[in-house]
Structure 1
């Protein structure tokens, strides 16, 4: 029996960011799958970076994401309080560095003012409405969060509900959610 560990078979992850009022929330599920098997249900794909003033979440291969987290932290040290600049510099490296080019991951990063998506193709994208989602269940979470944005729910409640909806639809997303929040009262 052959074991195919091709990265294209690694599925999973829904990461959503919601910005509402003075809060920004990044939430992610904990499921890691290989083909049609759940390998782990409690992975932590969302975490604070730097001095805790940036939150990042990843979708993709775990080792690749850890490499990107480390590289982003280095860029944040190099460009303190300049999230966009740090992300643009990381994206340049990611696109041009022979080793980094092979990394298969996407990241959402946020600080108190800015939310961004970073991709291996050099994209650094900022949403128009403060809501971003990536990963296998990203479109479900994005649609749910946008639908709830005008409700009385706060950013964390919207993110948690969007993650629940994504988990109900996407088989590569579970309800074991990690939430990190930045804002005036956090």
Structure 2
């Protein structure tokens, strides 16, 4: 049986603004099953945004768990993310989930994985950029090339996603974009 895959998510933090953008394509093998999935959403009271790459049902389970952790830790994203990563790595059910996430609030952007990783992307002079999914490396490279020329993080994310959509067959240009900060 083939797996659903084909996602590109990028997070860009510049100054007090953070943007997460995701494409809409869901693929099964070499067939596009859905072109307009929403893989980026707001969590909790809207102050946290998140995007996922991987199995959709698994990602929604993780979104729900992260929302509960955010409630338990009064909206402290880093603490909630660390607690989720602990559960994800050690819980018998969660350990089998196949997804990655980029999560952010106005101050922090993180990549979460099922290996227990909570990674804060390196800040390069004016921005932090993170990307995951099948087209993640394309979007990351494009964003890094454009970061010094594009001051608006949303425009930068959209341009990088456009480039990824042109070269990755599992990425399309139907974007969902969420923004926090400023």
Bin of the TM-score, shorter chain as denominator length: over 0.9
Q: What aligned pairs does 1:13-162 form with structure 2 within 5 A after superposition?
A: 13-129=7-123, 130-162=128-160
Q: Which runs of 5+ in 2 are unaligned?
A: none
TM-score, normalization: structure 2? 0.96
CA distance in 1, matches of 2:31, 2:74: 41
RMSD, aligned CA: 0.8
Mapped to 1, the partners of 2:151 and 2:24 lie a distance apart of: 23
Q: Distance in 2 between matches of 1:71 and 1:81?
A: 13
Q: Which runs of 4+ in 1 moved over 2 A?
A: none
Whole-angstrom distance in 1 between the partners of 2:84 and 2:16: 27
Q: Do 2:66 and 2:81's aligned partners in 1 also have CA atoms closer than 8 Å?
A: yes
SS at match of 1:153: coil
TM-score normalized by the length of structure 1 = 0.94
Q: Does 1:165 align with 2:159?
A: no
The alignment of Structure 1 onto Structure 2 pairs a total of residues equal to 178
Give 3-state SS (helix, strand or coil) of 1:87's partner. helix
Could you list the runs of 5+ residues in structure 1 that have no partner in the other structure? none
